[in-house]
Structure 1
Amino acid sequence: MTVAKAYAALSATTGLEPITIDRREPGAHDVEIDIEFCGLCHSDVHSVRGEWGNTHWPLVPGHEIVGTVARVGAEVSEFKTGDAVGVGVMVDSCRECESCQEGFEQYCEVGMVGTYGAVDKRNDDSITQGGYSSSVVVDENYVLRIPEGLDKAAAAPLLCAGITTYSPLRYFGVEEGDAVGVVGLGGLGHMAVKLAKAMGAEVTVFTTSPSKAEAARALGADRVVVSKDSEQMKAARNSLNLIIDTVAADHDINTYLKTLKRDGALVQLGLPEHAMPPIDPGQLIRRRLAYGGSMIGGIEETQEMLDFCAEHGVVSDIEMVDGEGINEAYRRLVAGDVRYRFVLDTATL
């Protein structure tokens, strides 16, 4: 065992505080990583506050991890000491089901092993602890290469926000000339804009806040539609091939379906806490529309995303946070007061 510094929640009401945790010695196929940066994701807040249930305490959150390889196991061949690497939302899966075999480990039919708060069945049923820490040990099959040229801190949110938006854009074959809509301009939304533009799409951002129009255009949006303005929404009808919906609050999908062309699709990425208004099936039927969902990406696709971002110069817009500022960052994250992702500098632990 090695000892790592970390920030953890000891209960649902205590917030995050500094502790030390044990990390296992690297096995034959393990990679030990000295963590340098870790993104703060809104799902971290839900987990720390016990809002998703089944929480194991203490809990060290963080699944947008970037660092440097410190040691490798005897049978590791793809990584070596000193390599820049990353770890995303999962650190294992069954590796045998149809989804895993096809490279969709995020949809593992047994259940993927999350980077934190999950039972690690391959390692004595220990509970995984995440990236708000100085080090981590991960099986080589779930470690990613950080390409040269990517700023490490700004690349950290790519391991969640980046792949979550990249995967549906790739699945629906977005290419030059396509018209893509993005609902919401937060951590996910701003990545969807950047990635869709890098793929050559014409991008429309839907927002409830007219004040965000300038920011959306600065990110590359070609058009901004204030969704509360009925005339603007009417003008946007039948104009889009694909909509990426990143909003995690309950909202009416039907208004956005009207902006899709025939054979268009709306993909839900945000997970609202409350039930959404029902979808009018007539809208789907009359123009052969599709409504679906998507969750992160497999390891191979996540590496593809990182390489794509390096090629096109795409990273997240970030604000750095030190260890003592994590709880304040959580407060601001819930309030939507960040453009667009917080990243923890683990040197401050």
Structure 2
Amino acid sequence: MSQALAYAAQSPTSPLAPFTIERRAPGQTDVVIDILHCGVCHSDLHTARGEWAGVNFPAVPGHEIVGRVTAVGSLVSKFKVGDTVGVGCMVDSCQHCRPCADGLEQYCDNGFTGTYNGPEQGTGANTYGGYSSQIVVRESFVLKISHDAGSLAAVAPLLCAGITTYSPLRHWKVGPGSKVGVVGLGGLGHMGVKIAAAMGAHVVLFTTSARKREDALRLGAREVVVSTNADEMAAHANSFDFILNTVAVPHDLDAFLVLLKLDGTMTLVGAPASPHPSPGIFNMLLKRRRLAGSAIGGIRETQEMLDFCAKHGIVSDIEPIRMDEINTAYERMLKSDVKYRFVIDMASMEAAR
């Protein structure tokens, strides 16, 4: 075992603070990674503040990890010391159920092992995430990063925000000729706009703020609709093939369902702390519309997403922060005061002790 520097929440009411964690000794199929950058996801905040059920404290969040390989087990074949790699929301799964066999580890029948707040397969031990100097991960859950070295900090959010938006766009076959709506322009939404545009879709961004119009167009949207404007919304009735709803607060889903054409789908990827109001059934019955959900992506699809983003020059729009700025960053996240993802420079960890 080895010690790693980390930042942890000791309880739901305590700020994140320096902490030392034990990383397991690497096994034959493990990869040891020194963490260079870690994105800050809203899930981190929910976990650190105990807002989701089942949080084990102390909690070390962070599942948008980019780092460098420093050691590999004797049976590791895909990675070598010095490689630049990524780790996303999962570090393991049962590997024997049908979803795992199909490369859909995120839907593991027995529950995947989260990068933080486990439990670890076999031992049940709590896992600690990327707000730390080092991590040890099984080879099959490590990802290759092919972006250039200068963009690595902005690559980190692809490991959660990128795959969370890429997976449903890919599953529902978004491409040239598709009219796609993206609801919300935050950490998820801005990635949804970029990726859908790169797939060749006509992208329309829905926002409650007219001030986001210029930014949405810069990111790849062809049109911007202020969702509180009834006339702007009505102009798009029955016209969308697919809507990606990234908003993580309860809101009226019917306002968007009526914009779908026959057989259109709206997929929810935002995770509000309380339920959305129930949509009216007739808005789905009369046009055979679908309301769906989607959770991250499997390892194979996550690698596909990273390669797609590298090919198209896609990274996240980020604001780098030091490790000791994390508590302030959380407060700013609650005010939507970030464009569009905080990323921790882990070189600041030593100074933050």
TM-score, with structure 1 as normaliser: 0.98
**1:133 paired residue number:** 132
**Mean Cα displacement is larger for which, 274-283 or 110-119?**
274-283
**1:26 paired residue number:** 26
Q: Does residue 232 of the first structure (1) align with residue 218 of the second (2)?
A: no
Q: Does residue 296 of the first structure (1) align with residue 293 of the second (2)?
A: no
**1:208 paired residue number:** 208
Q: Does residue 287 of the first structure (1) align with residue 287 of the second (2)?
A: yes
**1:314 paired residue number:** 314
**Mean Cα displacement is larger for which, 67-76 or 234-243?**
234-243
CA distance in 2, matches of 1:155, 1:13: 31
SS of residue matched to 2:279:
coil
Give the CA deviation at 1:22: 1.1
CA RMSD after TM alignment: 0.9
TM-score, with structure 2 as normaliser: 0.97
**1:107 paired residue number:** 107
**2:190 paired residue number:** 190
Identity %, equivalent residues: 55
Alignment of 1:1-349 (within 5 A): 1-122=1-122, 124-149=123-148, 151-349=151-349
Give the CA deviation at 1:25: 1.3
Please tell me whether the aligned partners of residues 34 and 134 of structure 2 are also in contact (alpha carbons under 8 angstroms): yes
Please tell me whether the aligned partners of residues 8 and 18 of structure 2 are also in contact (alpha carbons under 8 angstroms): yes
SS of residue matched to 2:94:
coil
Give the CA deviation at 1:127: 1.3
Give the CA deviation at 1:218: 1.3
SS of residue matched to 2:57:
coil
Please tell me whether the aligned partners of residues 93 and 121 of structure 2 are also in contact (alpha carbons under 8 angstroms): no
Deviation sequence 1:134-186 (CA, Å, 0-9, x none): 00000001000011436211000000000000000000111112110000000
CA distance in 1, matches of 2:147, 2:210: 37
Opposite residue 345 of structure 1, the aligned amino acid is D
Give the CA deviation at 1:271: 1.5
Give the CA deviation at 1:275: 2.4
SS of residue matched to 1:25:
coil
Deviation sequence 1:32-53 (CA, Å, 0-9, x none): 0000000000000000001112
Please tell me whether the aligned partners of residues 63 and 115 of structure 2 are also in contact (alpha carbons under 8 angstroms): yes
CA distance in 1, matches of 2:72, 2:281: 53
Give the CA deviation at 1:251: 0.6
Deviation sequence 1:70-98 (CA, Å, 0-9, x none): 00001100110000100000101000111
Give the number of aligned pairs: 348
CA distance in 2, matches of 1:121, 1:179: 41
